[in-house]
């Protein structure tokens, strides 16, 4: 699995810490981590939580990433921004039980973490335990086990609802403010990571056009 890490500007200083903990948990499981920044508060290319959602949508819909780990001060803004797009099902995760139940009940592909609220002593331990429960075995297996059938059915229904309620991603990107979108994909390593891993020629062409505009 390719896991993308995205930090917005208010919490960019924590990027290295989050990346270290994430890699510690998931790399032994055979997953790869791609850090799309922001890498520090002083980065030239600033990301807002809205741009986190745009970037997450591009990565997930194109197949350049299988999962996105993002967040903001409370995690709420990043979650809302991610869920505004097709092909993204993002949960707001505060503790390990949230992570486990989101993975098993909702079977999403992105999480938004609160990187300021409650991020004090033991923050790195909470992150570690969250990532351990999030990527523990196969997701979508239900919790509690007697609820597995209706939960899996509801997940499929939600996926179909989102297909109807959202436009094609390329149409969305072209209709959004051009500078807002370009800012979301202006990171130092975006082109290196994205074009090497993108599986959708249509989205790749769309992103290339945006970068060259």
Q: Is 103 helix (H, G, I), strand (E, B) or coil?
A: helix
Average pLDDT for 176-192 = 96
What is the rounded distance in angstroms from the CA atom of residue 6 to the CA atom of residue 204? 19
Q: What's the pTM value of the predicted model, to 2 decimals?
A: 0.95
Q: Which pLDDT belongs to residue 206?
A: 97
pLDDT tens digits, one per residue of 102-152: 999 999 999 999 999 999 999 999 999 999 999 999 999 999 989 999 999
Q: Which pLDDT belongs to residue 11?
A: 96
Tokens in use for 38? 């922001």
Q: Which pLDDT belongs to residue 77?
A: 97
Q: Provide the residue ranges of all domains of the chain, joining segments of one domain with +.
A: 2-212
Q: Does the pLDDT at position 68 exceed 90?
A: yes
For domain 2-212, give its CATH number from 3.30.70.1450, 3.40.1400.10, 1.10.1330.10, 3.90.226.10: 3.40.1400.10
Q: Does the pLDDT at position 87 exceed 90?
A: yes
- Comparing CA positions, the residue from 17, 38, 8, 4 lying closest to residue 120 is 17
């Amino acid at each position: 699995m390719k896991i993308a890490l995205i930090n917005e500007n208010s919490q960019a200083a924590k990027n290295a810490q989050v990346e270290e903990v994430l890699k510690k948990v998931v790399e032994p499981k055979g997953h790869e981590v791609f850090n799309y920044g922001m890498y520090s508060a002083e980065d030239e290319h600033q990301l807002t939580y809205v741009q986190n959602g745009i970037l997450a949508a591009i990565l997930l819909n194109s197949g350049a990433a299988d999962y996105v780990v993002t967040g903001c001060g409370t995690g709420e803004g990043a979650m809302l921004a991610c869920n505004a797009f097709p092909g993204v099902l993002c949960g707001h995760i505060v503790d390990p039980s949230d992570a486990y139940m989101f993975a098993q009940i909702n079977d999403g592909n992105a999480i938004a973490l609160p990187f300021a609220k409650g991020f004090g002593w033991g923050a790195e331990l909470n992150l570690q335990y969250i990532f351990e429960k999030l990527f523990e075995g196969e997701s979508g297996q239900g919790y509690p086990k007697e609820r597995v059938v209706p939960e899996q059915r509801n997940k499929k229904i939600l996926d179909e609802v989102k297909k109807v309620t959202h436009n094609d991603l390329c149409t969305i990107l072209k209709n959004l403010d051009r500078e807002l979108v370009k800012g979301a994909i202006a990171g130092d390593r975006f082109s290196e990571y994205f074009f090497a891993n993108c599986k959708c020629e249509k989205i790749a062409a769309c992103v290339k056009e945006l970068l060259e505009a």
